[in-house]
Amino acid sequence: MLTALNDEGKLISLVNVPKNLAKQKLSSHYYCPVCHEHLILKVGKIRIPHFAHKQFAKCSNSTTEPESPRHLLGKKHLYHHYQRNGFDVYLEYYLPEIQQRPDLLVKKGNHLYAIEYQCSPLPRQRLMERNAGYRKLNILPIWILGTKPYKKRKNKIFELSDFQFSLCTYTSKAGLTLLSYLPEKQTFLQLSKMTSLPSTKLIGLLQEIPLEKKFPPVHDLPFDFQTWLNEKRTWIQYKVYYGNLHNDLFLKEVYTTGHNPFLLPEICGLPLPHAHLIYDSPIVWQFYIYLDCLQEIPIGQKLSLKWVNQRILQRINNGMITIREFPLDFNNQYTWKVPISEYFSLLTSLEYLSKIGEDLFMIEKKVKIPKNTEEALIRENALFRRDILHSLYSNNH
């Protein structure tokens, strides 16, 4: 902690205290603003000066202790960052109604934000409880990751952990975004415009923003179709060679319905702006849509999106499709139905369907199974050369 009460009951902060504060005491005693127990002022070599509870303290505020050196330092940097940007900043402000104490509470105009600087993974349940607390007080929580915003990186392809996914936000301007702050480099790392690849990896735009610099605008990321196709082919090969027919529900479904994983219709595995809302690869759920809703349906037949969603829901309930939840989407604006509806719009643009009502589509073209891998490649390449696919990512979505 960087704040404590002194003998006179006044809140003191270490945020502006230089590192060489040494033993120059600010007060003779320090007390926890939450439980009022004695605190120890720690001045060491590794961490910046901070307060700590005595061992075995039963304070609700001491559960996250000991704070790591990075956490303390990052919190201090962020404090100054928000202050410089014209916010009223309150360090470790205790909110008794919800018994929570965000790293920073910042205020601009009538808006209140709780800044949570998170250096270690937090279970989803805890994350959701903390968010719910803030929302009760009309405070918008902003989570900043204390480590890199990805688990693995290869050029512009990223892999995220479930914890990292859980801290992502979505805006129409920046797309799916995750923000980090690295105190040792005094730099923000922003990973935005993320879109799912067939392998459940993502393509994204990584920007390094030094602490004193303004955040630059996020530009559109042209979608790289060659990468997409490579990932798609690698994903299928990997499945076939290493997948287990007993545990792999997708593979099992492909074979038991008489299909060949290398000869799936070209419409199974198309990119969509909101594909990240479904945990499984787009190849998987688009194949199920083909099986459940499009296969063997004659040209001219009508089908409603509502009916399609019901079929998908069955697959979700059977555990064959897994939904990815984004706890920071407070309005529940983005559900799994979004990528399904995007998929149907795309199939309409590709002239497999026509839209004949608000929720109603008509089959225009039969979905074909390629006879051999050569034909599969030709069909896939032809589809991916279509302008429609390219325009999908240049528009704001």
Count of residues engaged in binding Zn ion, rule: CB under 5 A? 5
Under the binding rule (CB under 5 A), the answer on residue 11 touching Zn ion is no
How far, in whole angstroms, is CA 56 from its chain's centroid?
35
- In whole angstroms, give the CA distance from residue 249 to residue 243: 10
| Cα 364–Cα 365–Cα 369 angle in degrees, nearest 5 | 155
Interacting stretch for Zn ion, rule CB under 5 A, among 3-11, 29-37, 196-204, 292-300? 29-37
Least distance from C-beta 35 to Zn ion, angstroms?
3
- Shorter beta-carbon distance to Zn ion: residue 32 or 283: 32
Element (H, E) at 41: strand 38-42
- In whole angstroms, give the CA distance from residue 365 to residue 383: 14
Interacting stretch for Zn ion, rule CB under 5 A, among 3-11, 30-38, 326-334, 352-360? 30-38
Least distance from C-beta 17 to Zn ion, angstroms?
20
Least distance from C-beta 12 to Zn ion, angstroms?
15
Under the binding rule (CB under 5 A), the answer on residue 35 touching Zn ion is yes
Under the binding rule (CB under 5 A), the answer on residue 3 touching Zn ion is no
Interacting stretch for Zn ion, rule CB under 5 A, among 58-66, 191-199, 346-354, 371-379? 58-66
Task: Write out the two tokens for 279.
Answer: 């945990």
Interacting stretch for Zn ion, rule CB under 5 A, among 19-27, 42-50, 59-67, 384-392? 59-67
Least distance from C-beta 1 to Zn ion, angstroms?
9
Under the binding rule (CB under 5 A), the answer on residue 177 touching Zn ion is no
Instruction: Taking each helix axis as running N to C, give the angle between helix 387-394 and helix 337-349, from 0 to 180 degrees, rounded to the nearest 10.
Output: 140
- In whole angstroms, give the CA distance from residue 360 to residue 258: 29
For the residues of 294-347, what is the DSSP string, one character each?
A: ITTPPTT-EEEHHHHHHHHHHHHHTTSS-BPP-TT-TT----THHHHHHHHHHH
Least distance from C-beta 334 to Zn ion, angstroms?
38
Least distance from C-beta 3 to Zn ion, angstroms?
11
Amino acid identity for residue 194 in this structure: M
List residues binding Zn ion (CB under 5 A): 32, 34-35, 59, 61
